[in-house]
Amino acid sequence: MGLVLFLMAALWGLGWVMKTPIRARLIMIALLYLAVILAQLLLPETAELRRATGGDVRPWLVLGGVVALGYGYSRLIARLRRSPPETPQPNPDSFREAELNRYARHIILREIGGTGQKKLKSAKVLVVGAGGLGSPALLYLAAAGVGTIGVIDDDTVDGTNLQRQIIHTDERIGMPKVFSAQAAMQALNPFITIRPYNRRLDAETAATLFAEYDLILDGTDNFDTRYLVNRAAVATGKPLIAAAITQWEGQISLYHPATDAPCYECIFPQRPAPGLAPSCAEAGVIAPLPGILGTMMANEALKEITGAGTGLRGRMILWDALYSETRTMRLKRRADCACCATVSAGPA
């Protein structure tokens, strides 16, 4: 037996000197081992070769078993070591230690708590427009831990945006806004999923897209898209938080005929005549104004998801930034609304 073990060691050493691959050396030693086993089993007890290799098959089988066990154990350890490190993945049912720490100031709020934070984590919110209103809305939704955030916009970051669209940066000028926004949100919170849609919202796909989300936020700056967003939100029964700004004034409300709140068209049945409602590009806008209104959008979104407090169903807040005044208007559905007249309201 000693002779065979010596031969095995010699094979290994020789292979090492000749730089034979470890695999080839192992195969040679395994062949030698098999030959010995066969010699023990097939040759008569008196045969010289069988006597020279120990004369008994049992110690060889024990040796083979021990080596096989050792090899299997080392492979198992290697596989365990190779398994990839944990990456943050949104899981609606549980929070990691790092997430509990991140959302600690929410979790101690009576109106949010652990239950509310779980609702935020499993919520899906779509933000239309990654511009002035979308910037703070998206950042605060991400920071707050909304688990899935969609953002749709077909624009690219322009130098004139950076006076107020704080989700973008100077070095991302020229990049599609949705990817710039995605980078900023992911950097702020790696525990959430961002879905960027680098295209213009159109009537054909809006309803399909909205159906994938629980709540829609509209921060667009043109009336075509605003009416389109409202129609798709009504068609899919989703609550819509929409804000608008110009110069020093902003407004915000939550539109949702399915819970007897008006829709956008109930309040604005007709588009303003061209020139009467100039865009920010034409009329100008003070930098923090979209920040204030966009942040209010995020705040209303978090309330809507968690059920905290009283939202803006049937109410519109008007914010005058120049004179620092707010007004709240009561809003009602219009029975003859071209958009939502056929929608019957369920419980709020």
Where along the sequence are the contacts to Zn ion (CB under 5 A)? 263, 265-266, 337, 339-340
The secondary structure element, H or E, covering residue 79 is: helix 58-82
Q: How far is the CB of 234 from Zn ion (least distance, A)?
A: 7
Pick the closer one to Zn ion by CB: 194 or 331.
Answer: 331
Pick the closer one to Zn ion by CB: 75 or 332.
Answer: 332
Dig out the tokens for 320 from the structure. 């005058």
Q: How far is the CB of 206 from Zn ion (least distance, A)?
A: 17
| Gyration radius of the chain over CA positions | 34
Pick the closer one to Zn ion by CB: 192 or 229.
Answer: 229
Pick the closer one to Zn ion by CB: 12 or 268.
Answer: 268
Pick the closer one to Zn ion by CB: 8 or 235.
Answer: 235
Q: Which residues, 6+ apart, have CB-to-CB distance to 250 below 8 Å? A: 243, 244, 289, 290, 292, 293, 318, 319, 321
Between strands 325-330 and 240-246, the pairing is unpaired
Q: How far is the CB of 237 from Zn ion (least distance, A)?
A: 13
Pick the closer one to Zn ion by CB: 240 or 339.
Answer: 339
Dig out the tokens for 28 from the structure. 């040679």
Cα–Cα distance between 320 and 340 in angstroms, integer? Answer: 30
Q: How far is the CB of 257 from Zn ion (least distance, A)?
A: 6
Q: How far is the CB of 256 from Zn ion (least distance, A)?
A: 10
Pick the closer one to Zn ion by CB: 255 or 319.
Answer: 255
User: Are 221 and 290 in contact, with CB atoms under 8 Å apart?
Assistant: no
247 beta partners = 285
Q: How far is the CB of 230 from Zn ion (least distance, A)?
A: 8
Q: How far is the CB of 204 from Zn ion (least distance, A)?
A: 22
In degrees, rounded to 5, the angle at the alpha carbon of residue 216 between the alpha carbons of residues 208 and 324 is 155
Pick the closer one to Zn ion by CB: 229 or 339.
Answer: 339
CA 283 from centroid of its chain's CA atoms: 36
Dig out the tokens for 117 from the structure. 């934070």
Of the chain, the end-to-end C-alpha distance in Å amounts to: 86
Cα–Cα distance between 189 and 140 in angstroms, integer? Answer: 10
Cα–Cα distance between 92 and 115 in angstroms, integer? Answer: 11
Q: How far is the CB of 178 from Zn ion (least distance, A)?
A: 29
